Amino acid sequence: MSFRLRVIVLMTVLSLAPYIVTMIVMGNVYRDDYERRIRDNMTHELDITNERIEQSFQSLRKDMAFIASLDTMDDLLTGDLDKRITNLLVLKKNDMQLIGWFDVIDTDGNVVASSNPDRIATSADSSGLFSVPIRSSFDDNQLGQLTIHYSFENLDRFLPESEHSHYHLIVEDQQVTGPLNTDPVISVSRVLTDWPAVTVTLEQERQFAFSLLNSAENLFVIVLLVGIFVIASIAFFVATIIVKPILQLSGTAESITQTQDYSQRVAINRNDEIGQLSHSFNLMINGMQDMISRLKAENENRIKLAKEKDRAEMLQDLSTKLSRYLSPQIYESIFSGEQDTTLGSSRKKLTVFFSDIVDFTSTTDQMESEDLTNLLNQYLKEMSDIALRYGATIDKYIGDAIMIFFGDPKTLGVSEDAKACIEMALEMQRRVRELKSEWGAAGYSKPFSIRIGIHTGYCTVGNFGTENRLDYTIIGSAVNLASRIEGQAEPGTVFVSEDTQLLVRDHFSMTPTSTFTPKGFSQPIQLFRVISSGVTRSEIVIEESGFSLKLDSQELTEAGRQDIKTRLLNLIDDL
């Protein structure tokens, strides 16, 4: 229900409620009172009618007493021989216009004279209304009685009829006169004193009795309807005045909702509650406009951040993919900004590592492609894991060969880099020996052996290639020398140059093996074979073709030590 309709209904109800309540109360109360008055009037009218009837009865009694007292009644003694009594009774009946008859009855109960000739000489009955005694005019002896047989129809002359009110005579609970009215009526009744068996009832049609009141009620209803129309019209006018600014407010709110234009405002030109509401509405819109502006800016920032995040994730994903093609150190240097990705190089003293699988070409010819791929991938993975663990920079894989260097982009110092490189190489040889056992156990008949060459020297390190395709690598004679040393190394050994040996001789046990002059070098190069890590040997490893020995005296027990001595002596004897 709209506010305007509520106002109209409320004003109409409040304005007309007292009128309606008064109308209802007066209608009910006054109707009862009105009916009581009608009954009183009807009772009064009925009493008057009854009184007239009673008076007529009294008059009749007197007339009968008078007739009974006439000398003519002496004729009763002669059996009304001259019909004087009969004539008198007929005259009286006609004079009264009596419906009924008079009987004169002697003391023997015989009808001596009657206004009804058929009654004469018959026995009297008790159907008479009332009787008066007849006494002789000369000695006052009772000669008989004068009885009147009175039809209730005689009472009709006392019962005035009108269009809307009717009298009824009820004789012994049966209505005997008057029209039967089936409409609702108001009725009052009285029993005749002189005729107890007769009840006189006066009825008045209820519709007629209340016609005045009904007319008044109809008038009330008409006035009420007119009042409703007038008050509703006034209420509509008032509600329109009240609702107009609210509708204006609502229209502005709806317009803002539809157009999303929060610059719209409600015109405030009043100082009442509606004006306050409009002011508050404008303040609310101000707040919403500010909030929406902030939300819009924040949303733009969020969208921007989301785009950047997506881009960062894409770059992260891309870099992750690219990282597999780069050494982790190179990758970290590039993405941390330490390494530039432009063409350029620098000279640094690096420790360069080369490894190669012995007789790889002949081995590949004897193995299935799938087996070769599995073995090679496992070998490269294992070696790469070891290299990364020692902080090496994996330059590239060249078939089965691995090129690694220490000292760029991160370096612990030339000596430490060389030391880490040799430790890495020893670890790789140990792991290859383990892999050989595993591969042998797995059924591969031609297990790998590797040789390792290490050299420390100045290299040119940087990005080589074009702007479109860069390759981070090292070049220089040190690289060539390291590769040549690797070629000089025996299977399962680690050969280092003298330059490297001088850097790490305090940390490893090494033995000079041979010298050689690689192509492009004028001076022979002294090579050293790395025996083990540490100067004081606790572990002895001897790898020769057809012979392998590993001894770690620190892990041996005394009993084990004696047993090993016995077995080695026996072995020497066998050799």
Partner 1 sequence: MKCWLLILLILFSQSTLSADFAVIVSATSGIDVLSSERIRDIFLKKRRFAQGKRLVPVNLLGSKPPRLAFERRILEMDRLNLQQYWTASHFKGVTPPATQASLASVKLFIEKVDGAIGYLPIEMVDDRVKVIYEF
The residues that touch partner 1, with contacts defined as CB under 8 A, are: 71, 74-75, 77-79, 81-82, 84, 136-139
Residues 6+ apart with CB under 8 A from 238: 7, 11
Nearer to partner 1, 77 or 470 (CB): 77
Judge whether 355 and 383 are in contact, CB under 8 Å: yes
- Minimum Å gap between C-beta 82 and partner 1 is 4
Q: Would you say 85 or 478 has its CB closer to partner 1?
A: 85
Give the H or E element holding residue 274.
helix 273-323
User: For tokens 């078939």, what's the residue?
Assistant: 399
Closest CB to partner 1 among residues 73, 420: 73
Burial status of residue 26 (CB atoms within 10 A of its CB: 0-12, 13-18, 19 or more): middle
Cβ of residue 198: shortest distance to partner 1, in angstroms? 39
DSSP 154-214: GGGGGS---SSEEEEEEETTEE-SSPPP-S-EEEEEEE-SS-TTEEEEEEEEHHHHTHHHH
Residue 75 or 486 with smaller CB distance to partner 1 = 75
CB of 65 to partner 1, least distance (A): 17
- Of 136 and 488, the one with the shorter C-beta distance to partner 1 is 136
Residue 490: DSSP 8-state: P
Shortest Å distance, C-beta 199 to partner 1: 44
Pick between residue 138 and residue 325 the one whose CB is nearest to partner 1. 138
Provide the minimum distance between the beta carbon of 146 and partner 1 in the complex, in angstroms, as a whole number.
17
Instruction: Kindly state the smallest distance separating residue 143's Cβ from partner 1, in Å.
Output: 10
Nearer to partner 1, 135 or 149 (CB): 135
Length of the chain: 575
State in angstroms the smallest separation of the CB of 135 from partner 1.
Answer: 12
d(CA 91, CA 356): 176
Compute the radius of gyration of the chain from its Cα atoms.
74
Cβ 81 to partner 1, closest distance in Å? Answer: 4
CB closer to partner 1 out of 81 and 542:
81
Q: Which is nearer to partner 1, 86 or 154 (CB)?
A: 86
For 505, which DSSP code? T
In 3D space, the residue among 52, 49, 71 whose CA is nearest the CA of residue 60 turns out to be 52
Angle between helices 414-442 and 369-389 (to 10 degrees): 150
Q: Exposed, middle or buried by CB within 10 Å (0-12, 13-18, 19+), for 566? A: exposed
Provide the residue type at 92 as one letter. Answer: K
| Least distance (Å) between residue 70 CB and partner 1 | 11
